[in-house]
Amino acid sequence: MPANENLAQLSKAGVAVWLDDLSRDRIRSGNLQSLVDEYSVVGVTTNPSIFAAAISASDSYDDQLHALAVRKVSVEEALRTVTASDVRDACDLLAPVAARTGRDGRVSLEVAPGLAHHTDATAAEAAHLWWLVDRPNLIIKIPATDAGLPSITTTIAAGISVNVTLIFSLERYRAVMDAYLAGLEQRLAENPEASFDGIESVASFFVSRVDTEIDKRLDAAGADPSLKGKAGVANARLAYQAYEEVFSSDRWKALEAKGAIPQRPLWASTGVKNPDYSDTMYISELIAPDTVNTMPEKTLHAYADHGEAGTPVQSAYEDAEKVMQAIADAGVDLDDVFRVLEEEGVQKFVDSWDELTGSVKEQLEDKK
Protein backbone atom coordinates (compact mmCIF):
# COMPACT_ATOMS: atom_id res chain seq x y z
CA MET A 1 0.00 0.00 0.00
CA PRO A 2 1.17 3.59 -0.59
CA ALA A 3 2.40 5.55 2.38
CA ASN A 4 -0.09 7.69 4.27
CA GLU A 5 0.00 11.15 2.67
CA ASN A 6 0.05 13.16 5.92
CA LEU A 7 2.98 11.22 7.32
CA ALA A 8 4.75 11.19 3.95
CA GLN A 9 4.54 15.00 3.87
CA LEU A 10 5.86 15.14 7.43
CA SER A 11 8.86 13.08 6.36
CA LYS A 12 9.44 15.33 3.35
CA ALA A 13 9.55 18.29 5.74
CA GLY A 14 12.54 16.67 7.47
CA VAL A 15 10.78 14.98 10.39
CA ALA A 16 11.79 11.36 10.97
CA VAL A 17 8.78 9.41 12.24
CA TRP A 18 9.67 6.96 15.00
CA LEU A 19 7.25 4.68 16.84
CA ASP A 20 7.29 4.86 20.63
CA ASP A 21 6.49 1.19 21.23
CA LEU A 22 7.77 -2.33 20.63
CA SER A 23 6.66 -5.86 21.37
CA ARG A 24 7.37 -9.35 20.09
CA ASP A 25 3.80 -9.62 18.84
CA ARG A 26 4.18 -6.36 16.94
CA ILE A 27 7.26 -7.74 15.18
CA ARG A 28 5.94 -11.25 14.49
CA SER A 29 2.49 -10.17 13.31
CA GLY A 30 3.91 -7.90 10.64
CA ASN A 31 2.45 -4.82 12.32
CA LEU A 32 5.80 -3.05 12.65
CA GLN A 33 6.63 -3.78 9.02
CA SER A 34 3.27 -2.36 7.93
CA LEU A 35 3.93 0.82 9.89
CA VAL A 36 7.26 1.13 8.09
CA ASP A 37 5.68 0.50 4.70
CA GLU A 38 2.45 2.48 5.08
CA TYR A 39 3.06 5.09 7.79
CA SER A 40 6.60 6.29 7.08
CA VAL A 41 7.94 4.89 10.37
CA VAL A 42 11.75 4.85 10.26
CA GLY A 43 12.69 4.16 13.89
CA VAL A 44 11.54 2.74 17.22
CA THR A 45 11.97 3.84 20.83
CA THR A 46 11.47 1.63 23.86
CA ASN A 47 11.46 2.02 27.63
CA PRO A 48 10.84 -0.24 30.64
CA SER A 49 7.10 0.57 30.67
CA ILE A 50 6.76 -0.57 27.07
CA PHE A 51 8.51 -3.89 27.75
CA ALA A 52 6.58 -4.48 30.99
CA ALA A 53 3.31 -4.14 29.08
CA ALA A 54 4.53 -6.30 26.22
CA ILE A 55 5.75 -9.19 28.38
CA SER A 56 2.77 -9.26 30.73
CA ALA A 57 0.21 -9.14 27.90
CA SER A 58 1.54 -11.85 25.60
CA ASP A 59 2.44 -15.54 25.57
CA SER A 60 5.05 -14.90 22.84
CA TYR A 61 7.75 -14.82 25.50
CA ASP A 62 6.80 -18.12 27.15
CA ASP A 63 9.24 -20.42 25.36
CA GLN A 64 12.20 -18.13 25.90
CA LEU A 65 11.31 -17.54 29.54
CA HIS A 66 10.93 -21.29 30.08
CA ALA A 67 14.40 -21.91 28.63
CA LEU A 68 15.84 -19.19 30.85
CA ALA A 69 14.07 -20.62 33.90
CA VAL A 70 15.43 -24.10 33.22
CA ARG A 71 18.93 -22.63 33.03
CA LYS A 72 18.29 -20.89 36.36
CA VAL A 73 19.52 -17.54 35.09
CA SER A 74 19.14 -14.46 37.25
CA VAL A 75 16.15 -12.20 36.80
CA GLU A 76 18.43 -9.43 35.57
CA GLU A 77 20.06 -11.66 32.95
CA ALA A 78 16.67 -12.91 31.81
CA LEU A 79 15.34 -9.38 31.53
CA ARG A 80 18.24 -8.26 29.40
CA THR A 81 18.10 -11.39 27.23
CA VAL A 82 14.40 -10.96 26.52
CA THR A 83 14.49 -7.23 25.79
CA ALA A 84 17.68 -7.49 23.74
CA SER A 85 16.05 -10.22 21.63
CA ASP A 86 13.15 -7.94 20.70
CA VAL A 87 15.43 -4.99 20.02
CA ARG A 88 17.77 -7.12 17.89
CA ASP A 89 14.84 -8.41 15.81
CA ALA A 90 13.53 -4.86 15.38
CA CYS A 91 16.99 -3.71 14.31
CA ASP A 92 17.04 -6.44 11.69
CA LEU A 93 13.59 -5.46 10.45
CA LEU A 94 14.67 -1.82 10.18
CA ALA A 95 18.08 -2.57 8.66
CA PRO A 96 16.85 -1.74 5.12
CA VAL A 97 15.70 1.66 6.41
CA ALA A 98 19.12 2.21 7.96
CA ALA A 99 20.81 1.27 4.69
CA ARG A 100 18.54 3.59 2.71
CA THR A 101 18.69 6.64 4.99
CA GLY A 102 22.07 6.27 6.66
CA ARG A 103 20.70 7.85 9.84
CA ASP A 104 17.38 6.24 10.71
CA GLY A 105 16.33 2.64 11.05
CA ARG A 106 17.35 2.99 14.70
CA VAL A 107 15.95 1.09 17.68
CA SER A 108 16.48 2.44 21.20
CA LEU A 109 17.33 0.35 24.26
CA GLU A 110 17.62 2.03 27.64
CA VAL A 111 20.24 1.56 30.33
CA ALA A 112 18.81 0.52 33.68
CA PRO A 113 17.22 3.70 35.10
CA GLY A 114 18.52 2.90 38.57
CA LEU A 115 21.94 3.88 37.21
CA ALA A 116 20.80 7.42 36.29
CA HIS A 117 22.98 8.99 38.97
CA HIS A 118 26.01 6.73 38.47
CA THR A 119 28.30 7.88 35.67
CA ASP A 120 30.70 4.97 35.29
CA ALA A 121 28.00 2.31 35.69
CA THR A 122 25.86 3.96 33.02
CA ALA A 123 28.73 4.06 30.52
CA ALA A 124 29.63 0.45 31.33
CA GLU A 125 26.08 -0.76 30.78
CA ALA A 126 25.78 1.21 27.55
CA ALA A 127 28.86 -0.64 26.28
CA HIS A 128 27.45 -3.97 27.44
CA LEU A 129 24.09 -3.42 25.72
CA TRP A 130 25.86 -2.39 22.53
CA TRP A 131 27.79 -5.67 22.64
CA LEU A 132 24.73 -7.72 23.62
CA VAL A 133 22.43 -6.57 20.81
CA ASP A 134 25.32 -6.36 18.33
CA ARG A 135 23.56 -4.37 15.61
CA PRO A 136 24.91 -1.16 14.06
CA ASN A 137 21.47 0.48 14.03
CA LEU A 138 20.99 0.14 17.79
CA ILE A 139 20.92 3.38 19.77
CA ILE A 140 21.46 3.36 23.54
CA LYS A 141 19.22 5.51 25.74
CA ILE A 142 21.03 7.44 28.49
CA PRO A 143 19.23 9.93 30.77
CA ALA A 144 20.30 13.57 30.74
CA THR A 145 20.99 13.75 34.46
CA ASP A 146 24.07 15.51 35.82
CA ALA A 147 25.73 12.11 36.19
CA GLY A 148 24.52 11.02 32.77
CA LEU A 149 26.26 13.83 30.87
CA PRO A 150 29.83 12.48 31.19
CA SER A 151 28.47 8.99 30.38
CA ILE A 152 27.20 10.38 27.09
CA THR A 153 30.65 11.75 26.28
CA THR A 154 32.34 8.44 27.13
CA THR A 155 29.83 6.40 25.13
CA ILE A 156 30.03 8.59 22.03
CA ALA A 157 33.84 8.55 22.22
CA ALA A 158 33.63 4.73 22.15
CA GLY A 159 31.72 4.89 18.86
CA ILE A 160 28.34 3.94 20.34
CA SER A 161 25.20 5.74 19.20
CA VAL A 162 23.22 7.48 21.95
CA ASN A 163 19.64 8.62 22.46
CA VAL A 164 19.80 11.12 25.32
CA THR A 165 16.48 10.98 27.17
CA LEU A 166 14.62 13.01 29.82
CA ILE A 167 15.55 16.52 28.63
CA PHE A 168 13.20 19.25 29.81
CA SER A 169 15.10 22.55 30.03
CA LEU A 170 17.11 24.58 27.54
CA GLU A 171 20.00 24.71 30.00
CA ARG A 172 20.17 20.93 30.22
CA TYR A 173 19.72 20.59 26.47
CA ARG A 174 22.75 22.80 25.85
CA ALA A 175 24.73 20.62 28.27
CA VAL A 176 23.62 17.53 26.31
CA MET A 177 24.80 19.00 23.01
CA ASP A 178 28.10 19.90 24.67
CA ALA A 179 28.46 16.32 25.95
CA TYR A 180 27.92 15.01 22.41
CA LEU A 181 30.51 17.33 20.90
CA ALA A 182 32.93 16.52 23.72
CA GLY A 183 32.51 12.81 22.96
CA LEU A 184 33.38 13.34 19.31
CA GLU A 185 36.37 15.48 20.28
CA GLN A 186 37.55 12.86 22.76
CA ARG A 187 37.31 10.18 20.07
CA LEU A 188 39.58 12.22 17.80
CA ALA A 189 41.98 13.06 20.63
CA GLU A 190 42.41 9.37 21.40
CA ASN A 191 42.90 8.52 17.72
CA PRO A 192 43.22 11.29 15.10
CA GLU A 193 42.36 8.73 12.41
CA ALA A 194 39.18 7.58 14.16
CA SER A 195 36.03 7.44 12.06
CA PHE A 196 32.63 8.89 12.92
CA ASP A 197 30.90 6.50 10.53
CA GLY A 198 27.71 5.07 12.03
CA ILE A 199 27.73 7.26 15.14
CA GLU A 200 24.25 8.72 15.50
CA SER A 201 22.77 10.67 18.38
CA VAL A 202 19.40 12.20 19.16
CA ALA A 203 18.45 14.42 22.09
CA SER A 204 15.00 13.54 23.41
CA PHE A 205 13.32 16.77 24.46
CA PHE A 206 10.11 16.00 26.36
CA VAL A 207 7.03 18.01 25.46
CA SER A 208 3.63 17.04 26.91
CA ARG A 209 4.93 16.55 30.45
CA VAL A 210 6.02 20.20 30.44
CA ASP A 211 2.46 21.31 29.72
CA THR A 212 1.02 18.99 32.36
CA GLU A 213 3.23 20.41 35.11
CA ILE A 214 3.05 24.05 34.05
CA ASP A 215 -0.73 23.97 33.49
CA LYS A 216 -1.12 22.73 37.05
CA ARG A 217 0.97 25.60 38.37
CA LEU A 218 -0.82 28.18 36.22
CA ASP A 219 -4.13 27.02 37.71
CA ALA A 220 -2.71 27.28 41.22
CA ALA A 221 -1.49 30.82 40.50
CA GLY A 222 -4.84 31.91 39.07
CA ALA A 223 -3.05 32.90 35.85
CA ASP A 224 -4.53 33.73 32.48
CA PRO A 225 -6.05 30.46 31.20
CA SER A 226 -4.90 31.31 27.67
CA LEU A 227 -1.33 30.46 28.74
CA LYS A 228 -2.25 26.81 29.32
CA GLY A 229 -1.11 24.27 26.77
CA LYS A 230 1.47 26.64 25.32
CA ALA A 231 4.66 25.88 27.24
CA GLY A 232 5.50 22.46 25.79
CA VAL A 233 5.62 23.66 22.20
CA ALA A 234 7.25 27.00 23.05
CA ASN A 235 9.98 25.32 25.09
CA ALA A 236 10.69 22.83 22.30
CA ARG A 237 10.81 25.58 19.68
CA LEU A 238 13.44 27.41 21.70
CA ALA A 239 15.35 24.14 21.94
CA TYR A 240 15.43 23.99 18.15
CA GLN A 241 16.77 27.53 18.08
CA ALA A 242 19.57 26.40 20.42
CA TYR A 243 20.20 23.40 18.13
CA GLU A 244 20.64 25.69 15.13
CA GLU A 245 23.06 27.85 17.07
CA VAL A 246 25.27 25.01 18.33
CA PHE A 247 25.35 23.13 15.05
CA SER A 248 26.41 26.17 13.07
CA SER A 249 29.28 27.05 15.44
CA ASP A 250 32.96 26.91 14.55
CA ARG A 251 33.41 24.16 17.12
CA TRP A 252 30.86 22.03 15.29
CA LYS A 253 32.19 22.84 11.82
CA ALA A 254 35.59 21.44 12.79
CA LEU A 255 33.96 18.13 13.72
CA GLU A 256 31.69 18.14 10.69
CA ALA A 257 34.77 18.49 8.48
CA LYS A 258 35.96 15.18 9.97
CA GLY A 259 32.69 13.45 9.06
CA ALA A 260 30.55 13.96 12.17
CA ILE A 261 26.78 14.40 11.82
CA PRO A 262 24.59 16.63 14.03
CA GLN A 263 22.77 15.30 17.05
CA ARG A 264 19.15 15.69 16.02
CA PRO A 265 16.46 17.02 18.37
CA LEU A 266 13.87 14.34 19.11
CA TRP A 267 10.43 15.38 20.30
CA ALA A 268 9.40 12.87 22.98
CA SER A 269 6.28 12.52 25.10
CA THR A 270 4.17 13.66 22.16
CA GLY A 271 0.97 11.90 23.14
CA VAL A 272 -1.45 14.62 24.28
CA LYS A 273 -2.49 14.15 27.90
CA ASN A 274 -5.18 16.85 28.10
CA PRO A 275 -8.29 15.91 26.05
CA ASP A 276 -9.08 19.60 25.58
CA TYR A 277 -6.02 19.97 23.33
CA SER A 278 -5.61 18.85 19.74
CA ASP A 279 -4.39 15.26 19.66
CA THR A 280 -1.78 16.15 17.03
CA MET A 281 -0.48 19.44 18.45
CA TYR A 282 2.93 18.09 19.44
CA ILE A 283 3.50 17.00 15.85
CA SER A 284 1.83 19.78 13.88
CA GLU A 285 3.52 22.58 15.82
CA LEU A 286 7.00 21.05 15.90
CA ILE A 287 7.77 20.47 12.24
CA ALA A 288 11.36 21.37 11.42
CA PRO A 289 14.20 19.94 9.31
CA ASP A 290 16.48 17.29 10.83
CA THR A 291 14.20 16.42 13.74
CA VAL A 292 12.70 13.17 15.01
CA ASN A 293 9.20 12.79 16.43
CA THR A 294 8.62 9.59 18.37
CA MET A 295 4.91 8.86 18.66
CA PRO A 296 2.68 6.38 20.45
CA GLU A 297 0.68 4.44 17.86
CA LYS A 298 -2.54 6.27 18.80
CA THR A 299 -0.89 9.63 18.05
CA LEU A 300 0.63 8.26 14.83
CA HIS A 301 -2.79 7.23 13.58
CA ALA A 302 -4.34 10.53 14.65
CA TYR A 303 -1.84 12.48 12.56
CA ALA A 304 -2.28 10.07 9.67
CA ASP A 305 -6.03 10.70 9.81
CA HIS A 306 -6.27 14.46 10.32
CA GLY A 307 -2.85 15.97 10.97
CA GLU A 308 -2.02 19.33 9.43
CA ALA A 309 1.21 21.32 9.46
CA GLY A 310 1.13 24.23 11.90
CA THR A 311 3.36 27.26 12.31
CA PRO A 312 6.92 26.49 11.15
CA VAL A 313 9.24 26.22 14.14
CA GLN A 314 11.84 28.57 12.71
CA SER A 315 9.36 31.41 12.32
CA ALA A 316 8.07 31.18 15.89
CA TYR A 317 11.11 31.83 18.11
CA GLU A 318 10.00 35.32 19.18
CA ASP A 319 6.51 34.13 20.06
CA ALA A 320 7.97 31.17 21.96
CA GLU A 321 10.14 33.50 24.06
CA LYS A 322 7.10 35.66 24.84
CA VAL A 323 5.11 32.61 25.96
CA MET A 324 7.81 31.38 28.32
CA GLN A 325 8.32 34.88 29.72
CA ALA A 326 4.58 35.32 30.29
CA ILE A 327 4.46 32.02 32.16
CA ALA A 328 7.38 33.10 34.35
CA ASP A 329 5.74 36.49 34.93
CA ALA A 330 2.59 34.67 36.04
CA GLY A 331 4.57 33.26 38.96
CA VAL A 332 5.66 29.86 37.61
CA ASP A 333 9.19 28.96 38.71
CA LEU A 334 10.46 27.35 35.52
CA ASP A 335 13.72 26.14 37.06
CA ASP A 336 11.72 24.28 39.68
CA VAL A 337 9.37 22.89 37.02
CA PHE A 338 12.27 21.37 35.11
CA ARG A 339 13.91 20.04 38.28
CA VAL A 340 10.69 18.32 39.34
CA LEU A 341 10.09 16.90 35.88
CA GLU A 342 13.57 15.38 35.73
CA GLU A 343 13.28 13.86 39.20
CA GLU A 344 9.82 12.49 38.44
CA GLY A 345 10.97 11.24 35.05
CA VAL A 346 13.83 9.25 36.55
CA GLN A 347 11.54 7.85 39.25
CA LYS A 348 8.88 6.85 36.73
CA PHE A 349 11.48 4.92 34.75
CA VAL A 350 12.78 3.29 37.96
CA ASP A 351 9.22 2.29 38.92
CA SER A 352 8.65 0.88 35.43
CA TRP A 353 11.94 -1.01 35.62
CA ASP A 354 10.89 -2.49 38.96
CA GLU A 355 7.57 -3.48 37.40
CA LEU A 356 9.36 -5.08 34.48
CA THR A 357 11.74 -6.92 36.81
CA GLY A 358 8.80 -8.18 38.86
CA SER A 359 6.96 -9.36 35.76
CA VAL A 360 9.99 -11.29 34.48
CA LYS A 361 10.64 -12.76 37.92
CA GLU A 362 7.07 -13.95 38.23
CA GLN A 363 7.11 -15.55 34.81
CA LEU A 364 10.45 -17.22 35.43
CA GLU A 365 9.03 -18.81 38.57
CA ASP A 366 5.94 -19.95 36.67
CA LYS A 367 8.06 -21.55 33.94
CA LYS A 368 10.25 -23.65 36.26
Active site residues per annotation: 141
Q: Which of 276, 281, 278, 248 is nearest to 262 (CA)?
A: 248
Distance of CA 147 to the CA centre of its chain: 18
